């Protein structure tokens, strides 16, 4: 296990951990959560011994191989597949030794060890990981230098996954993945056999892929068993109990203090008063730790336009006379809330820029009302903030008609303190920059809002605040996000962008996830068949007709389980669900939800096996 024993650490005079302890059982997948700035990444650096504790110790089993994604993405001329293979240092050393060793006994030992670590299937395993993260066979044999920074970070992730460490450390791994890559990673981590610590604000990943939560708050670390929703329910219940206990103690302290104040001067009551003073001194005050300020985004009322709001008629768009998207025929209506699906590089951001009027159509027509105000948020805009100016200065330039106190109030509502309002942008965290950029979009009072990966640097609380604000927003929304939790709660129409085309997707985000995983499974099976085409392939003894009947039955079961899940989730949305007098029912619902989620996961595995069997028979 990983044992944090009475650890303390400060940086720049600010204490992050103060004599706190926790442990992670061996083989557990654990999500590390907490507000921005509480020390999550610092904890990884302490585990890796890149920095030194002020006190205490972090115990990691001796000879444990620890894997973490490299800070510098590979950018050399080496092929992607070779870069990933090189991550298994023991395999590389053994293969090198086998080429120069002359002693027959040593050669035999080398090949025995190569067999023990499954070295001969290494290329297939490395290729499978790269494929899951979005790299084609052609990509895998291209040099690292031919890819952008985000794609090279995927190579770094693939390398650490391939190295199969005893302890895997992942810091916000989904920030540079698209939805397809995120779905694959969730599935991969579920099957990973060793210990995982993952810092993430992706609620979907924290629900699907981890079995425990390490919560960092108020300089302490606390371990919770279960996924994020289980942790969230338990923490809310604990907080309610603590508030109740504090209220009772406050009443008790007030009564005792009142007695002391009334009778401490009376000789006949002096001894009793002194006794109560001692009781007060021994009574340790219950303190409710206040979280950092949670931002509140509020969108103004929008102008209502007649439908259609946006019309694309045989429109093509691209760069440098090269078309990226062709012959787009789409209408967007005033109440539409659209999610864009598709792997990175297919053109989601290009489509967003086109609607935002950042780029022009190359062919066809784009019709948008002249008075339509469009708000546009994209990650690359973080680099366009003026680094030597403060958030106050940025906002003042936008709305200089407002008095300074109102500008500061707007910044305060977005989670900025009096100190961070006047801090230069270059000194802000990624989350603070993202909140500033979002606020600059909000104050434009947009009628159509286009958000391209808006949550990459936001913690879970800030993401939930954004979801609440967007649910109240009355305008049209176009969203690009790899966060399934966000997409599920905000959009009611999905467009898929693939092979230069933009088309409607008839299912929901869960259907899309199943499609992705099924395609990955199919691709993996096809690769396996190609590599073993001369070997005997075991075909199930069921007929194709029987398999199709089984598939229909499995889909029906999944649908029933999904309905049961939705019913429970609707009950949890009730505003009184987490009240103190509903604790017993809240626990029952949470237990039932975990059971139905397990049923869905198990039945989806059955469904995938049936689909694989059908594909094999159909070959």
- Note the pLDDT tens digit of each residue in 407-453: 999 998 888 888 889 999 988 877 888 889 999 999 989 999 999 99
Domain definitions of the chain by residue range? 2-64+166-226, 232-282, 310-506, 524-618
Among 205-209, 342-346, 377-381, the range of highest mean pLDDT: 205-209
Q: What pLDDT shows up at residue 541? A: 44
The three-class DSSP label of residue 517 is helix
509-531 and 583-618 are packed helices; what angle lies between their axes, rounded to 10 degrees? 40
179-191 and 122-132 are packed helices; what angle lies between their axes, rounded to 10 degrees? 140
| Third-level CATH fold of 310-506 | Rossmann fold (3.40.50)
Handedness of CA 233, 238, 244, 247 (dihedral sign): negative
Mean pLDDT of the chain: 85
Lowest mean pLDDT: which of 215-229, 489-503, 522-536?
522-536
Q: Which residues of 502-522 are buried (b: 16+ CB within 10 A; e: fewer)?
A: beebeebbeebbbbbbbebbe
Contact 442, 475 (CB under 8 A): no
Average pLDDT of span 389-408: 89
* Interatomic CA distance for residues 64 and 133, integer angstroms: 26
- Name the strand (E) or helix (H) holding 244: helix 228-263
Question: In which band, very low, low, confident or very high, does the pLDDT at 501 lie, cut at 50, 70 and 90?
Answer: very high
CATH number, span 2-64+166-226: 3.40.50.300
Question: In which band, very low, low, confident or very high, does the pLDDT at 523 lie, cut at 50, 70 and 90?
Answer: low
The three-class DSSP label of residue 480 is strand
Question: In which band, very low, low, confident or very high, does the pLDDT at 536 lie, cut at 50, 70 and 90?
Answer: very low
Q: What pLDDT shows up at residue 110? A: 83
């Amino acid at each position: 296990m990983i044992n944090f024993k009475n650890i303390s650490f400060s940086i720049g005079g600010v204490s992050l951990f103060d004599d706190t302890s926790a442990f992670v059982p061996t083989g557990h997948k654990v999500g590390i959560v907490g507000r921005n700035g509480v020390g999550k990444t610092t904890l990884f650096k302490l585990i890796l011994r890149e920095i030194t504790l002020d006190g205490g110790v972090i115990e990691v089993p001796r000879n444990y191989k620890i894997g973490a994604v490299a800070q510098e993405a590979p950018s050399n001329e080496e092929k992607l597949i070779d870069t990933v293979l090189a991550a298994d240092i023991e395999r590389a050393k053994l293969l090198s030794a086998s080429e120069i060793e002359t002693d027959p006994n040593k050669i035999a030992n080398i090949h025995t060890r190569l067999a023990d670590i499954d070295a001969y299937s290494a290329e297939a395993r490395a290729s499978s990981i790269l494929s899951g993260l979005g790299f084609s066979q052609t990509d895998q044999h291209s040099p690292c230098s031919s890819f952008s920074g985000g794609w090279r970070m995927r190579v770094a992730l693939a390398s650490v996954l391939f190295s199969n460490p005893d302890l895997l450390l992942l810091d916000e791994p989904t920030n540079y993945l698209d939805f397809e890559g995120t779905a694959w990673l969730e599935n991969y981590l579920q099957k990973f056999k060793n210990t995982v610590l993952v810092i993430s604000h992706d609620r979907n990943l924290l629900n699907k892929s981890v079995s425990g939560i390490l919560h960092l708050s108020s300089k302490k670390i606390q371990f919770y068993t279960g996924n994020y929703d289980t942790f969230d329910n338990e923490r809310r219940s604990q907080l309610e109990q603590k508030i109740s206990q504090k209220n009772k103690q406050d009443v008790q302290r007030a009564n005792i203090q009142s007695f002391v104040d009334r009778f401490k001067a009376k000789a006949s009551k002096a001894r009793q008063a002194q006794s109560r003073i001692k009781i007060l001194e021994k009574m340790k005050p219950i303190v409710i730790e206040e979280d950092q300020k949670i931002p509140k985004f509020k969108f103004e009322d929008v102008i209502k336009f007649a439908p259609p709001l946006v019309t694309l008629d045989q429109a093509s768009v691209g760069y440098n006379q090269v078309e990226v998207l062709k012959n787009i025929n789409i209408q967007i209506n005033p109440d539409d809330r659209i999610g864009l699906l598709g792997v990175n590089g297919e053109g989601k951001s290009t489509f967003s820029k086109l609607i935002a009027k950042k780029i022009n159509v190359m062919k066809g027509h784009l019709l948008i009302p002249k008075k339509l105000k469009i708000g546009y948020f994209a990650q690359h805009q973080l680099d366009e903030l003026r680094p030597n100016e403060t958030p106050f200065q940025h906002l003042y330039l936008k709305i200089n008609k407002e008095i300074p106190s109102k500008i500061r109030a707007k910044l305060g509502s977005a989670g900025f303190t009096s100190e961070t309002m006047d801090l230069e942008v270059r000194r802000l965290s990624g989350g603070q920059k993202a909140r500033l950029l979002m606020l600059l979009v909000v104050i434009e009072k947009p009628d159509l809002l286009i958000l391209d990966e808006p949550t990459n640097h936001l913690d879970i609380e800030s993401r939930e605040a954004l979801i609440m604000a967007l649910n109240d927003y009355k305008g049209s929304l176009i969203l690009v996000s790899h966060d399934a939790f966000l997409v599920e709660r905000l959009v009611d129409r999905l467009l898929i962008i693939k092979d230069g085309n933009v088309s409607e997707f008839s299912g929901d985000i869960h259907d899309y996830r199943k499609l992705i995983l099924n395609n990955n499974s199919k691709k993996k099976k096809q690769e396996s068949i190609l590599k073993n085409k001369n070997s005997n392939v075991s075909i199930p003894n069921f007929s194709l007709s029987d398999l199709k009947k089984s598939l229909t039955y499995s889909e029906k079961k999944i649908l029933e389980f999904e309905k049961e899940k939705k019913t429970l989730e609707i009950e949890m949305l009730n505003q009184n669900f987490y009240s103190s007098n509903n604790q017993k029912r809240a626990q029952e619902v949470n237990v039932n939800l975990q059971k139905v989620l397990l049923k869905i996961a198990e039945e989806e595995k059955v469904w995938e096996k049936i689909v694989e069997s059908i594909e094999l028979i159909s070959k």
